[in-house]
């Protein structure tokens, strides 16, 4: 009887905790998860001979703001690569990236017709540059409305356009016969209470748009594989082309890929308390042996992110393994993402696992929680970097130091150099190199272009991991899950997260966020002195430990002093003053002192100065590493000796 009751309870629990996955069939979600105020019906045809897409779209838009719209603003992202004078290209040059672009490799979106209701708006459009006033930038198009649209008002806009596909640029375009098509259609900005939020395309930031339903028909050469956001509902062949019909509710973008070479693999994700997900992998033939690694990494993401933050609701996910040189790898789109691997990818290195977990993770932080990536990129990239590192560690995914030689083709794994979650996966080195360049509160698109990685990804991951160590994982998980629950299918701002954090942490974290978010100050604590007095009184040895705040940022830290007899004294220092001295009279001398011994403060940019010992191993370490380096140098010189 007891067994029967237990089984019945388990069945009830299983049914109760499995959200209605069948709703995800065909790309529909019922009930709606988002406002669905910007829905697109698109018909597009790819012409591989001219590398163009001709498309028509109907946008069903509803004004969900409190302001009245007198114009519409659209992103025309591909115009960023129309000329070198665009804001994107100027920023790219400032960051020192990329070389000259051939004219044949450039792209543009030509809008040929705009209609609204019965009104012909073609020709009334103009380009605007809200971020920098760059007249040469054509990535934002403004279209005056024939009549204002007030709060709650709706509009249906018909647009015809031709998109000239670039050679892959910023993760979209064509290489050989591999097409990865993203940011490819005229796309509405987001109307907020303050007006249109429709930024120009910038070199180091991504995107922002409203949620809606996407009903998209893609016509491609017959026999070509297609992968896209959503679910393929039907397929129609006509002579030498095939039209693939995709549909998805509650997403804020639509991307797709097509190629005659892609190989399809299907697998399932199942979990006792999370909805099942069909995983569709579109793989390059040369990576067939890595199919399971892609699936396992995606399972890891769906499992851990699902358990930690909330379930993945769509029921399906498409993993695209991009072609070599496509530059399309490592990018997220709703229900679809690009991973990225190499032909030779050793098991001890987390490629493709790292990028797969990261991009699959964006389904949660970007896809479901839709922050503004132009302004607050750290809210998805940083959250996700932290979560990626945590998921990789939780799944025991091996990751060792790797170096690639001979043009990057030949990998070599250093099997005795494991990478750590806290330092390597979070990206401390990247943060350290750009720590002072920008405050995180600076709108992301205004960061110095080369800064974005360190501040957006690494700094956030490091301060979240610091919070995890400071507050404990249950508290941080509660914060992030609450944020996820409250802001799914919506557009949170930084303060929204801070409010939730303060509410769930049972303490005021504002001073911490002031340090890590509103400032570019760095954390650096160190032991300045560890001194023992020469004499002794009553057989007591006097030890003085001086700790110092070298950086400008403040964080409470522990200071542990270890004595020769094994005794340890832990002091709690608020870290506010520039220095503090601790004096001890103990039966034995101190042998070491260390600030932050548990490594709570992962943002400390100089770990080497955090400790001092009276039994230093520095000389031995120096001997060891200089001997290894000497053999390297001898080998290097022998290479040169071949010239004699």
Partner 1 sequence: MNALSALGEGIARVTRAPLILAGVWTLTFLVTLPLALGLRGMIADHLGSSLSADQAAAGVNLEWMQEFREQASGLGVTLRPTVVGAGAVLDNFSAFLDNTSRPVVIVGAAVAYMMFWLFLAGGIIDRYARDRATGAHGFFSACGVFFFRFLRLSALQWLVYMFLFRRLLEWLLDGLYPRMIHDVSVERTAFFARATMYLVFGVVFAACNLIFDYAKVRAVVEDRQSMLGAIAAAVGFIRRNYASAVGLFVVDSLAFAAVVAVYILAAPGVGGAGISMWMAFFAGQLYVAARLWVKLVFWASETALFQSRLAHAGYVARPLPAWPDSPTAEAIRTLG
For residue 600, the minimal CB distance to partner 1 (Å) is: 15
Q: Which of 416, 474, 534, 539 binds partner 1 (CB under 8 A)?
A: 416
Q: Extract the tokens encoding 529.
A: 């002195």
Q: Which of 303, 362, 459, 612 binds partner 1 (CB under 8 A)?
A: 612
Q: Which of residues 523-562 bind partner 1 (CB under 8 A)?
A: 530
For residue 355, the minimal CB distance to partner 1 (Å) is: 15
C-beta of residue 61 within 8 angstroms of C-beta of residue 188 = yes
Exposure b/e, 405-429, CB count within 10 A at least 16 = b: eeeeeebebeeeeebebbbebbbbe
Q: Which of 7, 25, 119, 429 binds partner 1 (CB under 8 A)?
A: 429
Beta partners for 571? Answer: 559
For residue 594, the minimal CB distance to partner 1 (Å) is: 6
Nearer CB in complex with partner 1: 141/605:
605
C-beta of residue 373 within 8 angstroms of C-beta of residue 366 = yes
For residue 533, the minimal CB distance to partner 1 (Å) is: 18
Instruction: From residue 586, give the alpha-carbon distance in Å to each of 291, 385, 540, 547, 560.
Output: 61, 45, 5, 19, 14
Nearer CB in complex with partner 1: 160/433:
433
Residue 579: other Cβ atoms inside 10 A:
13
Site mask for partner 1 (CB under 8 A), range 108-137, x = bound: ------------------------------
For residue 279, the minimal CB distance to partner 1 (Å) is: 24
For residue 336, the minimal CB distance to partner 1 (Å) is: 19
Does the protein bind partner 1 through residue 100 (CB under 8 A)? no
Q: Which of residues 3-22 bind partner 1 (CB under 8 A)?
A: none
Nearer CB in complex with partner 1: 193/416:
416
Q: Which of 9, 14, 412, 565 binds partner 1 (CB under 8 A)?
A: 412
Helix ranges, 209-320 (H): 291-308
Nearer CB in complex with partner 1: 58/613:
613
Q: Which of residues 31-90 bind partner 1 (CB under 8 A)?
A: none
Does the protein bind partner 1 through residue 606 (CB under 8 A)? yes
Instruction: From residue 11, give the alpha-carbon distance in Å to each of 16, 18, 20, 21, 419.
Output: 8, 11, 15, 16, 42
Tell me whether strands 212-221 and 38-47 are parallel, antiparallel or unpaired: parallel
Q: Which of 232, 375, 399, 594 binds partner 1 (CB under 8 A)?
A: 594
Q: Can you spell out the DSSP letters for 466-481?
A: HHHHHH-HHHHHHHHH
Does the protein bind partner 1 through residue 417 (CB under 8 A)? yes
For residue 607, the minimal CB distance to partner 1 (Å) is: 6
In angstroms, the CA 452 to CA 382 distance is 11
Q: What strands lie across the sheet with 119-120, from one edge to the other?
A: 119-120, 108-116, 154-164, 52-62, 38-47, 212-221, 241-251, 231-238
For residue 570, the minimal CB distance to partner 1 (Å) is: 15
Q: Which of 133, 144, 148, 616 binds partner 1 (CB under 8 A)?
A: 616
For residue 573, the minimal CB distance to partner 1 (Å) is: 18
Residue 193 burial (CB < 10 Å; 0-12/13-18/19+)?
exposed
In angstroms, the CA 438 to CA 204 distance is 14
* The one segment of 24-32, 73-81, 389-397, 606-614 that binds partner 1 by CB under 8 A: 606-614
Nearer CB in complex with partner 1: 230/340:
340
For residue 643, the minimal CB distance to partner 1 (Å) is: 5
Nearest to 124 by CA among 115, 133, 132: 115
Q: Which of residues 294-333 bind partner 1 (CB under 8 A)?
A: 323-326
Q: Which of residues 334-393 bind partner 1 (CB under 8 A)?
A: 342-343
In angstroms, the CA 270 to CA 273 distance is 9
* The one segment of 182-190, 249-257, 415-423, 460-468 that binds partner 1 by CB under 8 A: 415-423
Who's near 490: CB < 8 A, 6+ residues apart? Answer: 34, 369, 370
Nearer CB in complex with partner 1: 228/591:
591
Q: Which of 52, 67, 177, 441 binds partner 1 (CB under 8 A)?
A: 177
Does the protein bind partner 1 through residue 611 (CB under 8 A)? yes
Who's near 85: CB < 8 A, 6+ residues apart? Answer: 134, 136, 137
Does the protein bind partner 1 through residue 415 (CB under 8 A)? yes
C-beta of residue 37 within 8 angstroms of C-beta of residue 65 = no
Does the protein bind partner 1 through residue 631 (CB under 8 A)? yes
In angstroms, the CA 140 to CA 132 distance is 12
Does the protein bind partner 1 through residue 632 (CB under 8 A)? yes
Residue 531: other Cβ atoms inside 10 A:
17
DSSP 422: I
Nearer CB in complex with partner 1: 159/527:
527
Nearer CB in complex with partner 1: 139/434:
434
Does the protein bind partner 1 through residue 614 (CB under 8 A)? yes
Does the protein bind partner 1 through residue 641 (CB under 8 A)? yes
In angstroms, the CA 44 to CA 246 distance is 12
């Amino acid at each position: 009887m007891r067994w029967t009751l237990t089984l019945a309870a388990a069945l009830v629990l299983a049914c109760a905790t499995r959200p209605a996955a069948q709703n995800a069939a065909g790309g529909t979600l019922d009930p709606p998860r988002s406002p669905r105020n910007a829905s697109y019906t698109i018909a597009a045809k790819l012409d591989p001979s001219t590398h163009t897409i001709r498309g028509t779209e109907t946008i069903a838009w509803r004004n969900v703001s409190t302001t009245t719209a007198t114009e519409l603003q659209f992103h025309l992202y591909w115009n960023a690569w129309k000329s070198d004078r665009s804001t994107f290209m100027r920023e790219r040059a400032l960051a020192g990236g990329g070389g000259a672009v051939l004219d044949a490799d450039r792209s543009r979106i030509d809008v040929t017709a705009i209609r609204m209701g019965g009104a012909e708006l073609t020709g009334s459009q103009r380009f605007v540059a809200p971020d920098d006033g760059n007249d040469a930038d054509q990535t934002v198009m403004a279209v005056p409305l024939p009549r204002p649209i007030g709060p709650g008002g709706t509009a249906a806009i018909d647009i015809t356009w031709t998109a000239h596909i670039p050679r892959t640029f910023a993760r979209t375009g064509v290489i050989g016969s591999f097409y990865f098509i993203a940011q490819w259609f005229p796309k509405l900005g987001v109307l907020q209470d303050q007006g249109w939020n429709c930024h120009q395309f910038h070199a180091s930031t991504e995107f922002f748009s409203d949620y809606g339903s996407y009903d998209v028909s893609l016509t491609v050469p017959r026999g070509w594989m297609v992968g896209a956001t959503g679910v393929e509902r039907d397929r129609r062949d006509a002579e030498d082309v095939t039209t693939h019909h995709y549909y998805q509710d509650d997403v804020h973008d639509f991307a797709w890929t097509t190629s005659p070479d892609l190989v399809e693999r299907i697998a399932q994700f199942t979990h006792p308390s999370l909805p099942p997900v069909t995983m569709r992998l579109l793989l390059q033939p040369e990576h067939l042996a890595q199919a399971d690694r892609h699936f396992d990494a995606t399972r890891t993401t769906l499992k851990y992110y699902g358990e930690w933050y909330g379930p993945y609701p769509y029921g399906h996910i498409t993993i695209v393994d991009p072609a070599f040189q496509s530059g399309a790898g490592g990018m997220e789109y709703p229900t679809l993402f690009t991973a990225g691997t190499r032909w030779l990818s050793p098991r001890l290195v987390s490629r493709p696992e790292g990028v797969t977990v990261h991009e699959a993770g964006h389904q949660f932080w970007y896809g479901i929680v839709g922050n503004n990536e132009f302004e607050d990129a750290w809210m998805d990239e940083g959250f996700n970097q932290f979560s990626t590192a945590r998921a990789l560690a939780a799944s025991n995914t091996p990751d060792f130091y790797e170096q690639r030689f001979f043009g990057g083709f030949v990998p070599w794994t250093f099997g005795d150099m494991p990478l750590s979650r806290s330092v390597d996966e979070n990206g401390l080195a990247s943060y350290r190199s750009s720590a002072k360049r920008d405050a995180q509160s600076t709108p992301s698109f205004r960061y110095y272009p080369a800064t974005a990685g360190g501040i957006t990804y690494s700094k956030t991951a490091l301060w979240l991991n610091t919070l995890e160590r400071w507050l404990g994982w249950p508290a941080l998980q509660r914060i992030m899950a609450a944020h996820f629950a409250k802001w799914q299918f919506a557009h949170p701002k930084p303060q929204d997260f801070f409010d939730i954090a303060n509410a769930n942490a049972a303490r005021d974290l504002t001073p911490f966020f002031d340090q890590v978010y509103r400032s570019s100050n760095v954390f650096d604590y160190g032991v300045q002195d560890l001194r023992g007095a020469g004499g002794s009184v009553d057989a007591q040895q006097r030890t003085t430990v001086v700790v110092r705040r070298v950086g400008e940022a403040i964080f409470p830290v522990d200071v542990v002093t270890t004595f020769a007899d094994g005794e340890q004294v832990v002091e709690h220092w608020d870290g506010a003053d520039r220095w503090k001295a601790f004096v001890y009279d103990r039966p034995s001398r101190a042998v070491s002192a260390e600030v932050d011994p548990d490594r709570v403060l992962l943002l400390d940019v100089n770990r080497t100065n955090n400790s001092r010992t009276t039994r230093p191993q520095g000389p031995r370490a120096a001997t060891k590493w200089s001997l290894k380096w000497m053999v390297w140098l001898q080998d290097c010189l022998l290479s040169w000796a071949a010239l004699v």
